Amino acid sequence: MKSRAVGAALALAFLVAVGLFVAPLAGKIARPGHAGPLTDPTDFAAFYCGGKVLARHADPYRATPLDACERDALGESNMTIWPHLVAPAPLPPYALALFSLVTFLPFRAACVAFFFGSVAAIGIGIVLAARLGRFPFAFVALASFVSLGLGSLALGQVVPIAFAGLCASALALRAGRVRAATAFVFVTLIEPHVGIAAVAGLALLVPRARVPICIGVAALAALSLAAGGVALNVEYVARVLPAHAQSEVANFRAQYGLSTLLYQLGWSSDWALRVGAASYAAMLALGLALARRLRRAFDDDAFAVVTPCAAVLFGGTFVHDHQMSLALPFAFVLANYCASRVLLYAATIVLAVPYQTGIDGYLGGLLPRHPVADPSAVLARAAPTAYLAEDIWRPWIAYVNGADGRSPAQMLAYKLPTWCALVALGVVALGPGRRAEPARVRAAPVAAN
């Protein structure tokens, strides 16, 4: 226990040092007028503005209020974006309600607060993840930091929060603390399409969690209704989610879902999305079945939440590479039981690298680009009739993909390692296992709550 505590303290100290180093560096490379994690974290800017619009009792999914907020926010950094461009905030109302809590801060101050909050979430996640399995602490820390840090910090993504919640839920389940596990698993719903899988696994495989889950669902529903009312919640489900899927289906350069691959192969967007949705349902069912098998074989309740999350990241309609971090806890838990240690190490290393984000975000200036027309005219034509932000986002995605000088085969090559790593985790899980020593894996027994 002493060595574990020392390791946890060293990990936290390491991440604080990284944060203190990266923040000034980010300030230098993201001076006013230059994009960066403290001036324009792309995704956080949209979430911040969505929360701000919602706090003003306006519709955070429409193009017009988001447009004004995003331009004002970037103006704090002496930056502008393409005329008429609007980045959507496709999170559910309960998530935007949480972001509205930081909108009392100016945008630049909110960026700094979110950056250090994300660093803290990564540190907490690493400490928790190291307790899930038998990987060396340094390996878990490095894999998690590379995946979460490179994939999420620059963009202002929420994956580190979901990662910490998933690891905490798995550990609480292993200790028999069902109510705590339920509370932590709801944190993963900040990434709804992945978090739903963890909630489904908990509900199906841990009967004592069903009542707390019902209470949690009711609480989130109440928060969503209080924040936006019935009409906004209906709009989110009926219009925003389908529109966002349509706007991203052509985004093969950045999407890892089956829908974008099918669209790239010539399928219509409607059929690509239908098959992608069916594949999500199939992978969720497969993940739940595998979780049941592993839980029974090794008497480890942690599989109930980590396995479905990893499964739904393969296929589906909407998956970015920074979300692949949420498959790592499954690999860490598998480390207690699998016989194929070399394959598991290799799969974890490959999975931990956010290839697409790293290539686009850090090496983007070195990528080949096609000469394309100025998108202003296209965006100007879309703006007058745009209702949702996605109505403008879709032609922008087409422009960005058109400007990418890589061939479809080259884009596919960047995705293959991640897909192969997910398949390898499945092979390890289905292969011969060995029972771990309970004293080294399972937490000390506590009273079930």
pLDDT digits (tens, 9 = 90+) for 199-243: 999 999 999 999 999 999 999 999 999 999 999 999 999 999 999
- Give the model's confidence band at 313: pLDDT under 50 very low, under 70 low, under 90 confident, else very high: very high
Average pLDDT over residues 238-262: 93
Residue 439 has pLDDT above 60, yes or no: no
For 22, the token pair is: 């990266």
Alpha carbon distances (Å) from 324 to 68, 274, 340: 32, 22, 21
Confidence at residue 20, expressed as pLDDT on a 0 to 100 scale: 53
What string of DSSP letters covers 63-108? Answer: HHHHHHHHHHHHHTTT----TT------S-HHHHHHHGGGTTS-HH
Alpha carbon distances (Å) from 368 to 354, 364, 371, 403, 407: 20, 9, 10, 9, 10
For the whole model, what pTM was predicted?
0.89
* Percent residues over pLDDT 90 in the chain: 59
Summarised one tens digit per residue, pLDDT across range 44-82 is 989 999 999 999 999 999 998 899 999 888 887 777 778
**Which has more confidence, 444 or 224?**
224
Amino acid symbol at 380: A
Confidence at residue 152, expressed as pLDDT on a 0 to 100 scale: 87
For 65, the token pair is: 């209020």
Average pLDDT over residues 89-102: 94
Three-state DSSP at 35 gives coil
Confidence at residue 160, expressed as pLDDT on a 0 to 100 scale: 96
Q: Whole-angstrom Cα distance, residue 389 to residue 399?
A: 16
Beta bridge partners of 255: 320
- Give the model's confidence band at 35: pLDDT under 50 very low, under 70 low, under 90 confident, else very high: low
Residue 138 has pLDDT above 60, yes or no: yes
Q: Whole-angstrom Cα distance, residue 228 to residue 144?
A: 35
Q: Which residues contact 402 (CB under 8 A, 6 or more apart)?
A: 370, 372
* Percent residues over pLDDT 70 in the chain: 84
Tokens 């389940």 belong to which residue?
Answer: 173
For 272, the token pair is: 């690509």
For 375, the token pair is: 């998108």
Contact 40, 74 (CB under 8 A): yes
Q: Whole-angstrom Cα distance, residue 399 to residue 213?
A: 42
Contact 402, 372 (CB under 8 A): yes
Average pLDDT over residues 359-370: 60
Residue 406 has pLDDT above 70, yes or no: yes
Per 3-state DSSP, what percentage of the chain is helix, strand, and coil (rounded to 5)?
75, 0, 25
Domain boundaries, the chain: 2-434
Confidence at residue 388, expressed as pLDDT on a 0 to 100 scale: 93
Maximum pairwise Cα distance, the chain: 65
- Give the model's confidence band at 370: pLDDT under 50 very low, under 70 low, under 90 confident, else very high: low
Range of 136-145, 164-173, 245-254 with top mean pLDDT: 164-173
Q: Whole-angstrom Cα distance, residue 140 to residue 328?
A: 9
For 407, the token pair is: 């061939």
| Cα atoms in the Cβ-side hemisphere of radius 13 Å centred on 57 | 1
For 385, the token pair is: 């009739």
**Which has more confidence, 382 or 8?**
382
**51-55, 71-75, 86-90, 413-417: least confident range:** 71-75
Confidence at residue 29, expressed as pLDDT on a 0 to 100 scale: 46
Confidence at residue 433, expressed as pLDDT on a 0 to 100 scale: 65
**Which has more confidence, 356 or 329?**
329
Average pLDDT over residues 413-437: 84
How many C-beta atoms lie closer than 10 Å to residue 316's C-beta? Answer: 25
Average pLDDT over residues 141-168: 91
How many C-beta atoms lie closer than 10 Å to residue 71's C-beta? Answer: 16
Q: What value, to the nearest 5°, has the Cα angle with vertex 64 and ends 62 and 69?
A: 105
| Cα atoms in the Cβ-side hemisphere of radius 13 Å centred on 245 | 22
Tokens 């559910």 belong to which residue?
Answer: 92
- Give the model's confidence band at 444: pLDDT under 50 very low, under 70 low, under 90 confident, else very high: very low
Average pLDDT over residues 81-92: 90
Confidence at residue 57, expressed as pLDDT on a 0 to 100 scale: 92
Residue 298 has pLDDT above 90, yes or no: yes
For 222, the token pair is: 């109440």
How many C-beta atoms lie closer than 10 Å to residue 296's C-beta? Answer: 11
Confidence at residue 376, expressed as pLDDT on a 0 to 100 scale: 83
Confidence at residue 153, expressed as pLDDT on a 0 to 100 scale: 84
The DSSP output letter for 255 is B
Confidence at residue 440, expressed as pLDDT on a 0 to 100 scale: 44
Q: Which residues contact 25 (CB under 8 A, 6 or more apart)?
A: none
Residue 401 has pLDDT above 90, yes or no: no
Contact 165, 188 (CB under 8 A): yes
In angstroms and rounded to an integer, the radius of gyration of the C-alpha atoms of the chain is: 21
Q: Whole-angstrom Cα distance, residue 327 to residue 315?
A: 13
Residue 445 has pLDDT above 70, yes or no: no
